[in-house]
Amino acid sequence: MPPRRDGNVVSWASVVDEATLAQAQRTARLPIVAGHVALMPDAHLGIGATVGSVIPTRGAIIPAAVGVDIGCGMVAAETALTSHDLPDDLGPLLDHISRHIPAGMGQGHGMRADVSPWAEFLTEHGLPSGTRLDTRQETTAAVQYGTLGSGNHFLEVCLDERDRVWVMLHSGSRGVGNQLAQRHIARAKGAMREALTTLEDPDLAYVVAGTAAFDAYVADVQWAQAYAAGNRQRMVAVALQLLGDAAGRHDLAPTLVVNCHHNYAAVEQHDGVEVWVTRKGAILARSGDLGIVPGSMGTRSYIVRGKGNPLAYHSSAHGAGRAMSRRAARKRYRPDDLAAAMAGRTWLADKAGKLVDELPAAYKDIDQVMADSADLVEIVHELSQVLNYKGT
């Protein structure tokens, strides 16, 4: 759909409420915003900044716009397997995944027998340089490396339109990313108060280039983004090994891997000007870029190729986007509703009561999101889940 311009907000969302638009307008009125705020088709209300927004800023970054799950994103790995290579019963594979890839709030690898992936990450990236971690936080970072998390984080085995098997998952920087983000959000708010800077929303507090707070935040956000990408890469490697074992292909290797952030900040050039671009629930979609737009439990997901739309700052939607809050979904729907949506798939059916706020009706229609994204991306592959694993 052609975008709609409303003041300094340009929106591709055909379904969006007034509160979300008002929130985006508050962000767009900040003096640090360099241009317009772009709203993606999946836009919905967030904390401070809108989920599904792209925010260009000059000389400053808004930590709460990046969010508390720094570097959260998707990875999808294509294989040469087809549905005929999969076992008739995927239950044992789901059990193996749940044992080897911990999921849920605060969950990690316990005493961590498998330390080599974390050691390799430390060798390449070290620990955050903007904020000193205490011993407990260092332990959290180690034991949660290669773990899924909770909420809408998931791991799926999918089939595409050619009957090819994919592994796809959604996760971020886990507890350590949250702790780093919370610390910098609090510091930014404190700095705004000390400078007597008035904001329409305190969660829009920003750190200014040239200050120690800015340098510390940039260092930590870049580290957390690397942690999130490595975390996803580690999990997909484990999942591919388990999938290969289940299919009798112990040397299974991916034929394509796409790994993309959708909560992050980076320096980019737009209209010949260097700016910080924060994508809060949006993916990079330059011309030719491959990305992932997941649906919700029981719906399709998509591998996409960017069209490089300059009005969207070369961005696109990051998923279906919530249509109602988790609390509202739990009040309105029952476990049987989720079970009906997940019919024919292997999933944690015994945890339906804890997952009911993740049913498709709690999210926007992914088909409408993709229709709204027509001038942002093109669809390369359509994925349908056959196995779904989520933390509770």
Per residue of the chain (392 residues), give pLDDT as tens: 689 999 999 999 999 999 999 999 999 999 999 999 999 999 999 998 999 999 999 999 999 999 999 999 999 999 999 999 999 999 999 999 999 999 988 788 865 545 789 999 999 999 999 999 999 999 999 999 999 998 899 999 999 999 999 999 999 999 999 999 999 999 999 999 999 899 999 999 999 999 999 999 999 999 999 999 999 999 999 999 999 999 999 889 999 999 999 999 999 999 999 999 999 999 999 999 999 999 999 999 999 999 999 999 999 999 999 999 999 999 999 999 999 999 999 999 999 999 999 999 999 999 999 999 999 999 999 999 999 999 87
Determine which one of 109, 261, 318, 381 is catalytic. 318
**What is the C-alpha separation between 173 and 69, in angstroms, rounded?**
6
Supply the pLDDT for residue 211. 97
Is 318 a residue of the active site?
Answer: yes
Supply the pLDDT for residue 113. 46
**What is the C-alpha separation between 366 and 361, in angstroms, rounded?**
11
Residue-wise DSSP of 169-211 = EEE--HHHHHHHHHHHHHHHHHHHHHTT---SSGGG--EETTS
What is the pTM assigned to this prediction?
0.96
Tokens representing residue 380 in the block: 């390369």
Asked if residues 285 and 306 have their Cβ atoms less than 8 Å apart, the reply is yes
* pLDDT tens-digit readout, 182-193: 999 999 999 999
CA atoms within 13 A on the CB side of 154: 22
Residue 299 one-letter amino acid: T
Longest Cα pair distance anywhere in the chain, in angstroms?
Answer: 65
Q: Crossing angle for the helix pair 174-194 and 135-143, nearest 10 degrees? A: 130
**What is the C-alpha separation between 195 and 173, in angstroms, rounded?**
31
Residue 93 one-letter amino acid: L
Supply the pLDDT for residue 114. 54
- CATH number among 3.40.50.300, 3.50.50.60, 3.90.1860.10, 3.30.70.2500, domain 4-288: 3.90.1860.10
Q: 251-257 long-range contacts, Cβ below 8 Å, gap at least 24?
A: 252/79, 252/81, 253/79, 254/77, 254/78, 254/79, 254/167, 255/78, 255/79, 255/80, 256/77, 256/78, 257/75, 257/76, 257/77, 257/78, 257/233
